Amino acid sequence: KNEVEQSPQNLTAQEGEFITINCSYSVGISALHWLQQHPGGGIVSLFMLSSGKKKHGRLIATINIQEKHSSLHITASHPRDSAVYICAAPRSQGNLIFGKGTKLSVKP
């Protein structure tokens, strides 16, 4: 079992739909990271959160430390949101361990 599990693996949505991506982790962590990987491979950090909820534009991330679960929500999805979304947890050595990613495709 991977230490960081994501679901779904693939997600297709129509423009405007509300999207949820889930992440469960089995390691003790100080914070959970949500990342966006573009088709060319580049990675952008979206959120680092250790409790509660954070919002940035149409993106919302929540975390439940007791349940070791986090969700990433996208409101009013748009084709430009199409990307791979990855959750990641830091190890004590400092590096991140990554989920396999959720490939999101938003159709116009």
Partner 1 sequence: GAVVSQHPSRVICKSGTSVKIECRSLDFQATTMFWYRQFPKQSLMLMATSNEGSKATYEQGVEKDKFLINHASLTLSTLTVTSAHPEDSSFYICSARIQGLYGYTFGSGTRLTVV
Binding mask 13-52 for partner 1 (x = CB under 8 A): ------------------x-x-x----xxxxxx-xx----
100 part of the interface to partner 1, by CB under 8 A = yes
Residue closer to partner 1, measured from CB, 9 or 14: 9
CA dihedral 71, 72, 77, 81 (to 10 degrees): -140
What's the burial of 85, exposed, middle or buried (CB within 10 Å: 0-12/13-18/19+)?
A: buried
Q: Which residues bind partner 1 (CB under 8 A)?
A: 2, 31, 33, 35, 40-45, 47-48, 86, 90, 93-101
